[in-house]
Amino acid sequence: MSVVEILELSSQGDERGASFSDQRWKAFLQQVKDIHLATIRPGAVRGNHYHRGRREVLFVTHADDWSFHWESEAGGPLQQRRFCGRGCVMIMIEPEISHAVRNYGCVDLFLVGVSNADYDSKNPDVYRRDVIAKPNTV
């Protein structure tokens, strides 16, 4: 795997709504120690940080326009990928990779973050390194 792997997931849903599943995250993380849920309001950015000691998988469920931004190494070239419409994207992120999500749309994005290390509020393993300007920081 490269430092970031981005996978657009296919819905297995029905008339009740969408349903997304992909098992590749299990081999990437090997164990789940933390899960967090977040929304990203229209026009807002979440992220602009990296983790030194943990891998992270983000699941972004979207119904409008948004983008994922990352930097493979400190001072390296900034990269981005933009998404439109409805769907779900799984993003697997290695340690030391700064990343951020921007919501360009008109509705909230829903994000689930899963990592292989416990979250400790006294030592959160979150280090700021901007990969995108923050018009409205959340």
Both tokens of residue 18? 């969408």
Quick one: pLDDT at residue 134?
60
pLDDT for 6-20, tens place per residue? Answer: 999 999 999 999 999
pLDDT for 22-68, tens place per residue? Answer: 999 999 999 999 999 999 999 999 999 999 999 999 999 999 999 99
Q: Where are the alpha helices (DSSP H) in the chain?
A: 24-29
Among the listed ranges 2-6, 23-27, 77-81, which one has the minimum average pLDDT value?
Answer: 2-6
**Nearest by Cα to 127 from 107, 106, 97, 94:** 97
Predicted structure pTM score: 0.92
Q: Is the pLDDT of residue 137 over 50?
A: no
Q: Is the pLDDT of residue 2 over 70?
A: no
Quick one: pLDDT at residue 74?
77
Q: Where are the alpha helices (DSSP H) in 1-137?
A: 24-29
CATH number where 104 lies: 2.60.120.10
Number of domains present in the structure of the chain: 1
